[in-house]
Chain A
Amino acid sequence: MLYLPKKQYLPLGLTQLIVALSLLIYLLLQGKVNLEADILSLLPNEDIEFVSEAENAFFQRYKNSAIIAFSGEDALTAHDKVQKYYADKGWLHRSVGFPELDAVAGLYGSYHGYLLDQEARQALKGGSSLGEAALAKLNNAFDPLTPLFFPLDPTLTTAAFVQAALMQQANSLAIEDGRLVVNDDAKHYVLMLSLPLDELNSMDAVTQLVHAVKDTLTNTQSVYPNLTISYSGIPFHSAENMHQANKEMRWLGGLSAFLIVLIVLWSFKSIRALLAVLVTQLNAVCFGLLALSLLYDSTHVITLVFSITLIGIAIDYSFHVMSTDQKDAVAYSKVRSAVKLGCISTVSGYCAFMLLPMEALEQVGIFIAFGLVGALCSALFIIPYLFSQCTSQSRLNQLGERVSVFLDSARRPTTVIISLLGLLSTLFILTNKQVFNDDIALLNASSEALRKNEAMHQQWFFGTQSQRLILWDSNLELLLEKEEKLIAALKSQSPHISVQALSNWLPSKSRQQENLVLLTEALSRGDFDILAGLLGQPIEVGATSNLTLDVLLKSELSELYSSQYLELNGQHASLIYVNGAETQYIDTVLKNFAKVARVDKAEQLSRVLFEMRHSLLIWFAIALSVFLLVLCVRFDLVSAVKSGIWLLLSCLIGLAGALLLQGSLNLFNFLALVLLVALAIDYFIFYLKCGQERSTALAISLSALSSVFVFGMLSFSQTPAIYSFGYTIMIGIVSIYFVAPLVVKRKA
């Protein structure tokens, strides 16, 4: 390495910090640092991008929607009162529910002849007459469609077509006296809100607005104690998660930062020490972000979540340099050399992320590798100057001595306990029936009540066991034909299922033409002669051109169709709901169709978690190999194998402990292993390089303590993803702390 006079350390260190900071600020101001928040973009599938875009476009309208339902005593009064209040605020969504039959008849009646339901098509294709069916329908006193359609279409085939389409609408909503109601076990009066959240500039303002909605409901509940109110919708989830995150950030973040400050001040008795730690962290984060901004067009938000581990590793370098007496040239040189070696080995381990098939993890590797170089620069060039003049070295020596003696006395029990625990942990993990859980709910901190309401309201709107499919094609005709074929395929083996689709209301042009031919033939066969006789005039069909999407979208029922169709990037896409069919059955049918995808956000996100967990396992194997190789080359095979075994046992203990506390393991337990390995590499290298010196033992103790405070504090979080991370780190780091000295000989 190039030799630099000590006087040049500080100017060099500060220059690189200022340059890095300025460049990062410039890139931020220029908008070159872009965050990618769509977690589905992590999936390695080219179709996913379009499906994800289409799904977002379809559900954009529900982004700011909330559903509120009142039941029980005084439900009607409470509903009306709250409805008036929300209407005054302009928060009410325009009316939803059952389409007006009069409007449906007016629209579809004009296109009689082109529209036949499946049963009528089959009958006509088989040469059967529809005349009797029309007469029977005409005589049915309780059929609401007949009086509306008969004057427009005496064959009543259009009425049958509309009835078949209505049968597929699975929602349980009805309108009573202008109110949206659901009649299940109880009567629920439902309000649908559309909150003006897009007009607000900050998440705080959004949370406040949602709280204002909730406050109204709380007040209403206090006025009517026997009333039951249920609410759901994305705004409520966002507000709850935001509230939870804020609370945890304030308490857990504040407490861990306070404890770190306390550790630094207590052990080093110096504000400069605190400053040195902060500068190292700042430099590390600057380097990491700079590398990401320069190498990638956008940084995935999940990269930043994973990259939190940098804080835990970077702080160790500061502790090692600060706890070593700079006057002791030999010891100081050993520490500098160990810091460099630790950095090289950790960076090599993180470079293994680039071998994984996920760009987000590649970004994590880049961020941490560059971040560690930043931390190293700071540890080598800035800290020595900042800290050299104010260290109370004798106190640090005393502390180091005590820690060293304690670790010495703990050697034998540690060997026995960790070996035994490692064995038990392995057995526990291997014999556990359901070890892994990749449910996306791990990322959600919403309350149980809100999740239950969400499920209940979704069922009202979209039916039970509802699956969503997105279909797309280059033109509308191809899209409708594909829908028709898909629905026929789905119903061929499960006739009981219902499918809400655009083609229920708008058959493809080719099908409409075919229908017209079939019906014209039936008329010329005399199938409807009795009806014509009753009317005293011949029945005519096909007087107009066929029904088109333009006509539907311009009608007063346009909401019904626009919610199921859109044009995106030159493609025509439709959204269909399948009710009552098993997921596996749908997937089997879909295999025979191109440009169709079943969309289940929760399932897809869970798949992302599963894929990432697998990638992390591969990484773990690669990182462990790199780690052993470095130790083998730099030290010896025995030390490498011993370190490897202790590291593996500690990881197993961390995982088993988390499994015991959580009931299952997830991606975030493995993410914690990444940090654990990175920290452990440094611990082993420092012991192997410097021996069980006072300064090494002290620095590692401080480092372990800070990791326990920063990451262990996360165990108190309400979000499963966060506490999973916390448990593994906390248990694993304690084990690593005790086993790391075992790789060197007892202090003489």
Chain B
Amino acid sequence: MIKAILTILTMLLSLNAFGQVLTAQQATDKLNLVAPSLPFSGTFEQLKYFKVLKHPLKSHGTFDVNKQRLLWQTLAPVKSAVLYENDMLYTINSRGDKKPTPQGSDMSTLIFALLQGKFKELEKVFNLSTDKRRNCISMTPTSEPLSMALNNVVLCGQGGIDKIELFDSKNNKTIIHLQFASQK
């Protein structure tokens, strides 16, 4: 009898750990989000944890977003950038050479939506749920090719998004801290 009660309790606790399913509106309300109006820009600091590395990789840079263009520029340790314009996604190396990437518009649409906390957009490709932390929303991709690249994404903040956590397909973690420039 005690075993049965313990089993049920364990099951209930583990269900809770998976998080409660949320709608886009509930997720927006939970973070009290006010979407930044376009155009906007800011800086970021990134910590990338690889299982094969003892220490995280640190990088920082800037982002610049307007209606049809997005520039995610890493300034250090190596200058590089991801640019979305004219419906194409490019990587730019330190010499400024621009190269198209196969991820195309899916990835750029994702970055746009993540930076603005557009849960209505994100809901189309992610299952939204609560996170252990009060100011965070956990998101699991529902379709390929996104699920090939990411296992889970967590968006945190109050009033705006200030932290993005990405867990890739090998469960390596990337934490990005965002600092939005004051809007004109």
User: Which positions in A face B, CB cutoff 8 Å?
Assistant: 98, 100-102, 119, 132-133, 135-136, 138-144, 147-148, 150-151, 163, 166-167, 169, 174-177, 534-536
**Closest A residue, CB atoms, query B76:** A139
B145 cross-chain contacts in A, Cβ below 8 A: 98, 144, 174-175
Instruction: Tell me, yes or no, whether B162 is within 8 Å of chain A by CB.
Output: no
A98 to B103, CA, bound (A): 12
B103 cross-chain contacts in A, Cβ below 8 A: 142, 144
A174 to B57, CA, bound (A): 32
- Does the CB pair B46–A139 fall under 8 Å? yes
- Does the CB pair B77–A144 fall under 8 Å? no
Given contacts A136-B93, A141-B174, A147-B172, whether A535 and B149 have CB atoms under 8 Å apart is: no
Interface residues of B in 99-137 (CB under 8 A from A): 99-103, 107, 110-111
Which of A101, A163, A534 is B57 in contact with, Cβ under 8 Å? Answer: A534
- Does the CB pair B52–A151 fall under 8 Å? yes
Which of B7-15, B17-25, B29-37, B163-171 lies at the interface?
B163-171
B102 cross-chain contacts in A, Cβ below 8 A: 163, 166-167, 169
A709 to B54, CA, bound (A): 90
A151 to B51, CA, bound (A): 9
Given contacts A147-B169, A163-B101, A176-B143, whether A138 and B48 have CB atoms under 8 Å apart is: yes
Interface residues of B in 66-102 (CB under 8 A from A): 72, 74, 77-80, 82, 91, 93-94, 99-102
Taking A136-B79, A139-B74, A139-B80 as known contacts, 7 extra A-B pairs with beta carbons closer than 8 A to each other, sorted by chain A number, are: A100-B148, A132-B93, A140-B80, A142-B72, A174-B145, A534-B55, A535-B52
A535 cross-chain contacts in B, Cβ below 8 A: 52-53
A163 to B91, CA, bound (A): 12
Given contacts A139-B80, A535-B53, whether A177 and B174 have CB atoms under 8 Å apart is: no
**Closest A residue, CB atoms, query B79:** A136
- Does the CB pair B74–A136 fall under 8 Å? yes
A167 to B100, CA, bound (A): 8
A-B contact pairs, 12 of them (CB 8 A): A98-B144, A101-B148, A102-B148, A132-B94, A139-B57, A139-B77, A141-B166, A142-B110, A143-B149, A144-B103, A163-B102, A177-B142
Cβ of A644 to closest chain B Cβ, rounded Å: 66
Which of A136, A144, A163 is B148 in contact with, Cβ under 8 Å? Answer: A144
- Does the CB pair B93–A133 fall under 8 Å? yes
**Closest B residue, CB atoms, query A169:** B102
Cβ of B163 to closest chain A Cβ, rounded Å: 13
B51 cross-chain contacts in A, Cβ below 8 A: 151
- Does the CB pair A144–B53 fall under 8 Å? no
A695 to B99, CA, bound (A): 85
A139 cross-chain contacts in B, Cβ below 8 A: 46, 48, 57, 59, 74, 77-78, 80
A534 to B166, CA, bound (A): 21
- Does the CB pair B46–A102 fall under 8 Å? no
- Does the CB pair A142–B111 fall under 8 Å? yes
Given contacts A135-B78, A174-B145, whether A150 and B52 have CB atoms under 8 Å apart is: yes
A132 cross-chain contacts in B, Cβ below 8 A: 78, 93-94
Which of B50, B94, B170, B172 is A136 in contact with, Cβ under 8 Å? Answer: B94
Cβ of A133 to closest chain B Cβ, rounded Å: 6
Cβ of B45 to closest chain A Cβ, rounded Å: 12
**Closest A residue, CB atoms, query B89:** A142
Max count, chain A CB within 10 A of own CB: residue among B55, B101, B102: B102
A174 cross-chain contacts in B, Cβ below 8 A: 144-145
A579 to B17, CA, bound (A): 49
A627 to B33, CA, bound (A): 93
Instruction: Tell me, yes or no, whether B139 is within 8 Å of chain A by CB.
Output: no
**Closest B residue, CB atoms, query A101:** B148
Instruction: Tell me, yes or no, whether B161 is within 8 Å of chain A by CB.
Output: no
Instruction: Tell me, yes or no, whether B176 is within 8 Å of chain A by CB.
Output: yes
A511 to B73, CA, bound (A): 34
A536 to B52, CA, bound (A): 10
Which of A100, A136, A141, A163 is B46 in contact with, Cβ under 8 Å? Answer: A141
A147 to B107, CA, bound (A): 16
A163 to B174, CA, bound (A): 21
Given contacts A138-B48, A177-B142, whether A148 and B169 have CB atoms under 8 Å apart is: yes
- Does the CB pair A147–B54 fall under 8 Å? no
Going nearest first, the 6 A-B pairs with the smallest beta carbon separation are: A144-B149, A136-B80, A176-B143, A147-B168, A139-B59, A135-B78
A133 to B110, CA, bound (A): 24
- Does the CB pair A142–B149 fall under 8 Å? yes
**Closest A residue, CB atoms, query B108:** A142
- Does the CB pair A175–B144 fall under 8 Å? yes
A534 to B56, CA, bound (A): 9
- Does the CB pair A144–B93 fall under 8 Å? no
B53 cross-chain contacts in A, Cβ below 8 A: 534-535
A79 to B78, CA, bound (A): 47
- Does the CB pair A142–B107 fall under 8 Å? yes
**Closest B residue, CB atoms, query A166:** B102
**Closest A residue, CB atoms, query B94:** A132
**Closest B residue, CB atoms, query A177:** B143
**Closest A residue, CB atoms, query B142:** A177
A177 to B169, CA, bound (A): 16
B46 cross-chain contacts in A, Cβ below 8 A: 139, 141
A656 to B63, CA, bound (A): 69
- Does the CB pair A138–B57 fall under 8 Å? yes
B59 cross-chain contacts in A, Cβ below 8 A: 139
B144 cross-chain contacts in A, Cβ below 8 A: 98, 174-176
**Closest B residue, CB atoms, query A150:** B50
- Does the CB pair B57–A119 fall under 8 Å? no
- Does the CB pair A102–B80 fall under 8 Å? no
Cβ of B103 to closest chain A Cβ, rounded Å: 7
- Does the CB pair B82–A136 fall under 8 Å? no
A147 cross-chain contacts in B, Cβ below 8 A: 50, 168-170, 172
Cβ of A655 to closest chain B Cβ, rounded Å: 51
Cβ of B114 to closest chain A Cβ, rounded Å: 10
A166 to B100, CA, bound (A): 12
